[in-house]
Structure 1
């Protein structure tokens, strides 16, 4: 009887072990199939963030046309809302839940290009106005330009007969591909109106003025030094999306793509952004408009570089000419001293050197 029981127990153990082994094998194959090792059990949204287009064909999202199509269109509104909340660090009750794209002529349209407006302007569910734009080239007018745009947007809220109490907060966001603040190493700077000594804001109830500057060159530098974490910081992953393609350098950061592709497996909005980016980069009409805009920007940058080069060249030539003239003058003054030492007549020295009698007398007194 005991042997029989021991035999049944052995069969039970073997059967149980085989069942567990079979289930573990299935689980391993499923995990390997979906490549979800980093996210224990989370089923991916896509095996590939981009499935039908090479990375080299993607638009540079810091080119204003592509940026506007990506973040300024009604079909991508959810992407825009998440991006704005990340930049403005809105959480809880302050979260932006809805935006309405507006058509104020605040910044005008592209010079020689009527395909798209420069700025993205949205109104939130609370009525706050947000102006967001990207700048590839440093035209050295960012501060005055920003305040001008902000003031135009702020005052655009008032119609005849409306009181000033109806004015709502206005926010400007500048995403720049160049250094704005030489003395500040951090990539995201935010400004408000403060009192100088107490640092009290001009308004406790509303943010009358809020200006953001995001410097992409500093951001990418910090990321390359492993100082930023895209897994914990939503803004970092969105800025990586903007910095992944650099059309001016004809460069794609594959490492950024690999990191974002992994994140997109559990970030649905980021995955949607990849899909929208892919569709935008495949549209023949949008590609034509984008390439036209990019060419214009590159041509303008080349012109600025030519002007800068010519100015520096002129400065060097003027410097050399000034140096030559100074050298000639010093030689003449040395000749004056030698002739004076020989007791030569001042008028004769003036005739020989071409210097005035007054200047010769000044040299004499030195």
Structure 2
């Protein structure tokens, strides 16, 4: 049986017939706290009632009272249920205030030592597998009271120390007893044979350890105990599986929520981009409208200038036409003058030739005047 399963732990260390090995086990844990060695214990009811009627009941794994009238509560946690420090404080407070429920005085309150054996890592910032805590003054580090004491034992760190050859179970009683708890790891389906052989060899000279081995083997081989252990182990594993399933579902839900948040953020960003683009397009459209209006005004101005140029051009055409008409008229006049001058010159030549007694036919051929015109000139001369 894996002794880190609470049922197996209780059957071995919470049994009246095994009281002697429980005392040795507790002394191994408390040996460095300065307390007197425990010589005898009595087992107490592990039920812790709630403060009010509707409060849930709690059950401690192991609760003993020493001959020095000190309470020792041992909790073994196979599965990480989280908030372990707060759970330990809660169990301590319920154990500490138990006498008050019977109407006893404050002076009759007993010291309570809480021992937590954990099958997981709790304090990731520390390498030590065994840590203890008390109430101290912040500056002088003086202890306020011995009424409160907490121990946390992290089995994963213990096994790591063993693998690194940093444990000496021959000279450390605590190491040998904790290695006994860590020797079987049901979750990994593993038995550490090297630990077994070493402890088996130590047990040849350690009567308490040898007795514990025998009781452990007897407990593991008893069919009724085995069935109850298997039932409890199945319950633990089912709880772990349900918890893991819940964690996976929560992770999936968180992932979906994150994805939805991311999508919503993307939508918001895109919406912002669309709004910005829309605003930009609106501004560009307004700019285009203004440019279009400006172009329209320029176009109108150009039309007006074109019209003005057209009118000027028409005016120039009319002036040119007028000048051409005047030029034509002048040319006609010039032509008439030239014709008259030519006619006068011909007639002058004709007169001269007539005076010289030339024939009319010769004169007509020479001047190009008609015979009638020459005859008229002749008559006019006579």
Match of 2:181 in 1: 242
Match of 1:292 among 231, 244, 251: 231
Matched-pair contact (CA < 8 Å) for 1:90–1:96: no
Match of 1:70 among 6, 9, 12: 12
Matched-pair contact (CA < 8 Å) for 2:46–2:62: no
Q: 1:322 to 1:152 in 2, by over 3 A?
A: closer
How many residues end up aligned between the 2 structures? 279
Give distance in 2, aligned partners of 1:107 and 1:245.
33
Q: 1:333 to 1:217 in 2, by over 3 A?
A: same
Give distance in 1, aligned partners of 2:67 and 2:24.
14
Q: 1:345 to 1:262 in 2, by over 3 A?
A: same
SS at match of 1:197: coil
Shift of 1:118: 4.2
| 1:82 maps to 2:24 | yes
Any idea what the Cα deviations from partners look like across 1:200-240, whole Å, max 9, x if unmatched?
2113xxx1101111011111111111111111100000011
Match of 1:254 in 2: 193
Give distance in 2, aligned partners of 1:130 and 1:199.
24
SS at match of 2:69: coil
Match of 1:98 in 2: 40
Match of 1:124 among 62, 66, 82: 66
Q: 1:93 to 1:215 in 2, by over 3 A?
A: closer
Matched-pair contact (CA < 8 Å) for 2:116–2:152: yes
The two structures have a TM-score, normalised by structure 1, of 0.71
Give distance in 1, aligned partners of 2:63 and 2:123.
25
| 1:276 maps to 2:215 | yes
Shift of 1:344: 5.8
Q: 1:243 to 1:343 in 2, by over 3 A?
A: same
Give distance in 2, aligned partners of 1:184 and 1:91.
19
Shift of 1:329: 2.8
Match of 1:316 in 2: 255
Give distance in 1, aligned partners of 2:142 and 2:172.
29
Unpaired runs of at least 5, structure 1? 1-58, 109-116, 347-366
Q: 1:334 to 1:166 in 2, by over 3 A?
A: closer
Greater Rg by CA: 2
Match of 1:267 in 2: 206
Shift of 1:171: 0.7
Match of 1:136 in 2: 78
Any idea what the Cα deviations from partners look like across 1:234-269, whole Å, max 9, x if unmatched?
000001100011112211111111111111111111
Give distance in 1, aligned partners of 2:263 and 2:222.
60
Matched-pair contact (CA < 8 Å) for 2:220–2:226: yes
Match of 1:188 in 2: 130
Unpaired runs of at least 5, structure 2? 51-58, 286-382
| 1:307 maps to 2:246 | yes
Query: How is 1:47-62 mapped onto 2 (pairs within 5 angstroms)?
Result: 59-62=1-4
| 1:201 maps to 2:140 | no
Shift of 1:156: 1.6
Match of 1:51 in 2: none
